[in-house]
């Protein structure tokens, strides 16, 4: 039986490393064998893998619901689209150095068909906080609700247990955030930083007012597994939202971007996305990535 890549369901790890990869122009013959080699190497727990719409199309395959990210029409803010063919999330509880070594080994393994185009180290801050100090992930579905939110079911072998991820690297201007006093900061997020209690009187521009999952019709639930990042003096949040499709994320993002009512999320007062992409995270079977959906026109890859 195929299951969700376990790293998606698990709590955010102490250390992470994200890689985006592009297909090499001369990759044709090597794409399939390289993906098979990746599938044999990846367990879905220590490394989570996502495939972009252009890669799936290139293999003459189809994954219902997979598409490329683009900013919602009428967005009042800049939402860059930075698609890649392959996305890797390396996870570790103990050692960012080990993640660097694993990312180098995976880059070598993928080199016949893919070039690494972006790489970012990330980490868990305190007990799972954004670098502003606010707890992140509180309203994530848990237990059975979490599994139902992230794992596709009822679509058949090769698709069931798959998931979809929306990825956005946000860059913070913390000095700008620091200029607001604490009550203002709390109102911008919609929760009190000190005890994480949701504010009754938060303005419509507060982040949790914009994104309240039960306020959408239909309800828009996602499972967020975002990780803070630092590069020199730059920092921010590497946002990831997993679900059985992209509709929930798109509804939230459109509202954050002021599409519905002209009100832009207060997050944009001190942070902005510098990337944006969508990926399909295939299921795992017997401890390896289940890529049969990609290869069914060409026979199943050898075990």
User: Can you give the binding site for ligand HEM, defined by CB under 6 A?
Assistant: 130, 134-139, 168, 170, 189, 191, 207-208, 211-213, 222, 237, 239, 241, 249, 252-253, 256, 267, 271
- In angstroms, what is the minimal distance from the CB of 12 to ligand HEM? 11
The SS3 assignment for 212 reads: coil
- In angstroms, what is the minimal distance from the CB of 271 to ligand HEM? 4
Residue 114 or 249 with smaller CB distance to ligand HEM: 249
Residues 295, 272: Cα–Cα separation, whole Å: 38
Residue 22 or 202 with smaller CB distance to ligand HEM: 202
Closest CA to 9 of 141, 121, 130: 141
- In angstroms, what is the minimal distance from the CB of 207 to ligand HEM? 5
- In angstroms, what is the minimal distance from the CB of 15 to ligand HEM? 19
Residues 6+ apart with CB under 8 A from 186: 192, 193, 199
Q: Helix count (H) and strand count (E) of the chain?
A: 10, 12
Residue 85 or 136 with smaller CB distance to ligand HEM: 136
- In angstroms, what is the minimal distance from the CB of 89 to ligand HEM? 17
Omega before 224 within 30 of 0, i.e. cis: no
- In angstroms, what is the minimal distance from the CB of 214 to ligand HEM? 6
Residue 41 or 139 with smaller CB distance to ligand HEM: 139
Residue 167 or 281 with smaller CB distance to ligand HEM: 167
Q: Which residue has the tokens 């630092």?
A: 230
- Reported for 63-70, long-range contacts at CB under 8 A and 24+ positions apart, including other chains, are 63/159, 63/162, 63/280, 63/293, 64/155, 64/159, 65/164, 65/244, 65/245, 65/246, 65/280, 66/164, 66/278, 66/280, 67/246, 67/278, 68/277, 68/278, 69/166, 69/246, 69/276, 69/277, 69/278
Residue 121 or 254 with smaller CB distance to ligand HEM: 254
């Amino acid at each position: 039986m195929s299951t969700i890549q376990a790293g998606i369901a698990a709590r955010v790890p102490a250390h992470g490393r994200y890689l985006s990869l592009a297909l090499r122009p001369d990759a044709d013959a090597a794409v399939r064998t390289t993906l098979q080699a990746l599938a044999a190497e990846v367990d879905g727990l220590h490394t989570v893998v996502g495939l972009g719409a252009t890669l799936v199309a290139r293999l003459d395959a189809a994954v219902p619901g997979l598409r490329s990210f683009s900013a919602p029409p009428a967005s009042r803010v800049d939402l860059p689209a930075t698609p890649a063919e392959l996305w890797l999330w390396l996870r570790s509880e103990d050692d960012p150095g080990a993640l660097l070594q694993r990312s180098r080994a995976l880059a070598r393994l993928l080199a016949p068909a893919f070039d690494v185009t972006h790489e970012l180290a990330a980490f868990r801050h305190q007990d799972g906080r954004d670098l502003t100090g606010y707890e992140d992930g509180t309203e994530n579905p848990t237990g059975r609700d979490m599994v139902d939110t992230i794992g596709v079911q009822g679509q058949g072998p090769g698709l069931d247990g798959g998931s979809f991820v929306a990825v956005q690297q946000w860059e913070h201007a913390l000095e700008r955030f620091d200029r607001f006093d604490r009550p203002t900061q709390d109102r911008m997020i919609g929760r009190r930083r000190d005890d994480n209690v949701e504010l009754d009187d938060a303005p419509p521009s507060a982040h949790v007012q914009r994104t309240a999952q039960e306020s959408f019709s239909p309800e828009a639930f996602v499972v967020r597994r975002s990780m803070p990042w630092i590069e020199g003096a730059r920092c921010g949040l590497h946002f990831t939202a997993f679900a059985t499709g992209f509709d929930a994320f798109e509804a939230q993002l459109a509202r954050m971007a002021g599409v519905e009512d002209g009100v832009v999320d207060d997050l944009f007062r001190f942070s902005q996305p510098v990337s944006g992409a969508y990926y399909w995270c295939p299921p795992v079977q017997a401890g390896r990535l289940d890529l049969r959906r990609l290869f069914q026109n060409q026979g199943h890859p050898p075990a």
